[in-house]
Each structure stands twice: as C-alpha cells, then as structure tokens.
Structure 1
C-alpha cells in the first residue's frame, strides 16, 4: 500500500526562465531564424546555453557559435563556465567585418 505524507515536502525546483534569443548575420542563417524563445534553467552557463542552441539547430550553428560573442542583457560573456543568470535577452553575434 502506498501512502502520501502531507508533512513531507519535495524540494522545489527552480523553473526555467523563458528568454528571447536573437541571432545576427551568420548566426541567424545557421539557426534558420532571427529570434526565438528558449527555456533557460537556473544555473545555466554560457557553454550550456550555446550547447543547447546547437542541439536545437545542428552543426551549422555549432561552427558559427564557436566564433560568436554572447551578449546577455547587453553584457558580453565569453567564458563558457560563466553562469548567464536570469536574463531577459541573449544576443548571438558572429564576428563582424567592415570598413
């Protein structure tokens, strides 16, 4: 017989935050879209977010993302181990050339 104990609590899990991810130039071409809404769990790192985006869009984005800068709410993040926190927007920016 299975019973439930109302006094026993289950640890709360932090829900994912829905974040707007915007892609520019070659990143948009590789992703096949200019922007999308992505669930970003608490504690996600820059590397984890990039890996999740690559898993969604495939090897073309992997190749571009390796050279991209990531702006998290307008702040540059390059360290793959850095946590992204709870952003509202992430911009994936490939290198730009111009003159």
Structure 2
C-alpha cells in the first residue's frame, strides 16, 4: 500500500521534507516503518524514537502494532511544553 508520511516540527527538520509517499507492506508494524524511515537518516531515527503518530487521524502509539491499511501517517514530535 502507498502511505503518505507527513512530518511536523523537528521531524520535518530531520527528514528534510514535509512529506513522502512510501510503499509499505500491509503487515508492517509502526516499529518496522520507523526502522525504514531512520535507516539512512540517523538524525530522523533519533527524533522518531520520541514521536507519536496519527494513522488516518487516529492515535497510534504501540510500535508493535500493525499499520494496516491507511492513507496517511502523521509524525508528531513532542512540542513545547509536552
């Protein structure tokens, strides 16, 4: 499946892009996706360790959870005061 990854704040700065479209296996977990995203970008990998995620606007916190079918994954680093 194709998933649009949207980066915000520090995640956007580390990724160097606002968004990216990736081909992701339906069985992939959030942790699998983090590994792929951070593989060639150690700065992004460090930021992802602290991020929370929205899968099609629904919170996804368990890194062992399968992504399932989704269109958009928002990557949200901790914001000021949070």
Q: Please give the range of the TM-score, normalised by the shorter of the 2 chains.
A: over 0.9
Q: Tell me the number of residue pairs that the alignment of Structure 1 and Structure 2 aligns.
A: 81
Where structure 2 has 5 or more consecutive residues not aligned to the other structure, the ranges are none
1:29: how far off?
0.5
Aligned to 1:61: 44
Alignment of 1:91 with 2:70, yes or no, is no
Structure 1 stretches of at least 4 aligned residues deviating more than 2 Å after TM superposition: none
1:77: how far off?
1.0
Alignment of 1:81 with 2:64, yes or no, is yes
Alignment of 1:22 with 2:6, yes or no, is yes
1:70: how far off?
1.1
Q: 2:28 aligns with which of 8, 33, 44?
A: 44
Q: Greater relative contact order: 1 or 2 (C-alpha under 8 angstroms, separation 6 or more)?
A: 2
Larger Rg: 1
Residue-by-residue CA offset, 1:40-60 (whole Å, 9 max, x unaligned): 11111010011111124x100
1:94: how far off?
0.3
* TM-score, length basis structure 1: 0.78
Where structure 1 has 5 or more consecutive residues not aligned to the other structure, the ranges are 1-16
